[in-house]
Structure 1
């Protein structure tokens, strides 16, 4: 497999390089830790503004994960499906992007 991620055209799975997978898992582990930290802050009655700042950091971290996934998706899965004549992938992508931008 090349450095690019590849979409499995026979199903709804995507193969990712070990490097990409490791990067995503690492980022998601950090987000998970941040979420646990926020829960602890709520339980300890920490000042609202401090909690809100942590929530903003989590949202930013999740957006970064989403950007990585979206880029890989567009460069592999979407491109592959368009090259195979499946233009419905554009509507699927637009729907997903609308969800991400809410």
Structure 2
């Protein structure tokens, strides 16, 4: 199979086992939090209690995005720039604009 590359200019990315497990664990926790919120709604929980849990999910998703973005910049973006694929910077800027809405 040759050298393991962590690039994503083909719209996919090979991740290390640790990175993959960390991402899946974070998403599983977030998924559990969302299920918990659904349960709160089903049990007619008090609105502020639900809102606090929604804020926790939002914070967890923001944290996930920060980790994913940092990793993307350190691997894909850096490699693409070194290989002369400057369009990756435009893609990164477009992504950041979407994230900052």
List structure 1 runs of 4+ shifted beyond 6 angstroms.
Answer: none
Distance 2:90 2:55 in 1: 30
Structure 1 residue 72, shift from structure 2 partner: 0.9
**What RMSD, in angstroms, separates the aligned Cα atoms of the two structures?**
1.7
| Corresponding residue number in structure 1 for 2:36 | 37
Corresponding position: 1:15 with 2:14: yes
Partners of 1:8 and 1:53 in 2: CA distance: 36
Aligned length in residues: 99
TM-score normalised to the size of structure 2?
Answer: 0.89
Structure of higher RCO (CA pairs closer than 8 Å, 6+ residues apart) = 1
How far has the Cα of 1:87 moved from its partner?
Answer: 1.1
Find the counterpart in structure 1 of residue 88 from structure 2: 89
Query: What is the match of residue 56 of structure 2?
Result: 57
Structure 1 residue ranges without an equivalent (≥5): none
Provide Cα deviations, 1:51-92, integer angstroms capped at 9, x if missing partner.
110001001111111111101100111111111111111111
The Cα shift of 1:32 comes to 0.3
TM-score (ref. length: structure 1) = 0.88
- Taking the aligned partners of 2:37 and 2:97, their CA distance within structure 1 comes to 27
Aligned to 1:6: 6
